[in-house]
Amino acid sequence: MAQVLEFKLPDLGEGLTEAEIVRWLVEVGDVVAIDQPVVEVETAKAMVEVPCPYGGVVTARFGEEGTELPVGAPLLTVAVGAPEGLKTSDPVTPGPSGDRNGSAPSGSSSPSSSSGSSATESSGGSGNVLVGYGTGAPAARRRRIRPDRLDRTPTLSGAPTAEAPVPEALVSEAPVSGAPGVAVPAVSSTAAPGSLAPVSDGPVPVVSPLVRRLARQHDIDLRRLTGSGPDGLILRADVDCAIRQAEETEAAKTRTARTAATPTGASPAAASPAASAAPAAERIPLRGVRGAVADKLSRSRTEIPDATCWVDADATELMAVRAAMNAATGTSAGPKVSVLALLARICTAALARFPELNSTVDTEAREIVRLPGVHLGFAAQTERGLVVPVVRDAHTRNAESIGAEIARLTELARTGKLSPAQLTGGTFTLNNYGVFGVDGSTPIINHPEAAMLGVGRIMPKPWVHQGELAIRQVVQLSLTFDHRVCDGGTAGGFLRYVADCVEQPAVLLRTL
């Protein structure tokens, strides 16, 4: 006898609470091996292939591609302990008597044989897992599943996108989905999912904090909702349905009030032709990278008392040094040194002189924490939105090494392959908004850092050079800093040192 196990979306780390399904890597009926990637998901920070800790036959998938699921929501179910001779990743077709066609190729192992170790057999999965889920024994609460009920698997904001019948030989016990330890009140089977009902006196059958937060934001009373999940569990789809119903009710009230206010003898259409013809406003969910950026910037503005200072600098000599360095490289295979790499090297030297700006604030302990190394973040605009990859130990690198690492991380950012670790842990950020053709800006600090240097475009401008008016390459530099870690004198000293190095790169050489 086999067990039908439910694999839930694991905690992908870095405090992430949800992920969007980008692409399914398996179909219902496929045989999967232990630790085989089954779905590609996109979080607020990266795209990740999620491996399944069970080996067996995929019996159901939950969520269409593009669906956003909270951590802990079911991804798929797997019938563990499939018969010998099934081929991994091949569709499984039931025969008249419940057998399946297909055989394992020579030299390959079946799912049951690949999990032959005692540890694997006892746990039903592998030990190679992501953060937040393991391969321990199935949940204690179980129920038997009849074959004739496998096509009525409970739905979750996206019900299973596809299901295949499972023979009696592969059907045993499966964990009960729902809220462990929560007494769920009985829900009428005739009520529509998400519909409003009289206020229930019992506990609210909801386990997801995201569902509770969504309900609070839209003033939805969860006690009046009829859940579409197992045992009446309230899912996100139910709350979304209730929100739509509330919006439609409010729109109907508005139309009724507008009709009542129409003068006698005038038709509603004649009274407000513009209102009836106006297109509906587009609503774009704040989720994924855009949602993460919104949360982080809002927190920065809320918690950090920031201030900004700026200065114009003559970058003519810096551009000449860059040209000379790249000319010296010649036809070698090494990458060219970018302006961003030179500015990053200047920042690491400036932070060595002004370590107050390479710090963070521990609000609970009321302490300023000065950090020993510089992990330099740089803002990069991608199709997925704004991301900030981090160059580790930038204070130990020269301009060429920093430039090579920036180029590598930028390419990963453009292809959406940056890992969460490559997007976190920065201590100072460099933001080159000059690539957008603008001269200046007041950057928002990348929480929990203490400062960010902004760089505008470098362009020819009239400039007094050696007592005479000349056309020089001028750039505007702006520094936004946390006023808790230092005063304006320190911030001004940092920015002035950066400007001096831009105008006279030899200043940097004298301080190395």
Among residues 80, 79, 70, 77, the alpha carbon closest in space to that of 9 is found at: 70
- Which of 375, 395, 465, 483 is the catalytic position? 483
**b (16+ CB within 10 A) / e for 150-161:** beebbbbbbbbb
510: Cα within 13 Å, side-chain hemisphere: 7
Contact 433, 424 (CB under 8 A): no
182: helix, strand or coil: coil
Helix axis angle, 488-503 to 316-329, nearest 10°: 50
Contact 475, 460 (CB under 8 A): no
Q: Tell me whether residue 483 is one of the annotated catalytic residues.
A: yes
Among residues 337, 389, 350, the alpha carbon closest in space to that of 502 is found at: 350
Q: Residues 88-96: contacts with CB within 8 Å, 24+ apart?
A: 88/30, 88/31, 88/32, 88/33, 88/36, 89/26, 89/30, 89/31, 89/32, 89/36, 90/30, 90/31, 91/27, 91/29, 91/30, 92/29, 92/30, 92/31, 92/57, 92/164, 93/29, 94/164, 94/165, 94/167
User: Which residues pair with residue 474 across a beta bridge?
Assistant: 314, 459
CA distance 94 to 103: 13
Question: Taking the CB of residue 115, how many other CB atoms lie within 10 A of it?
Answer: 22
The residues carrying an active-site annotation are 483
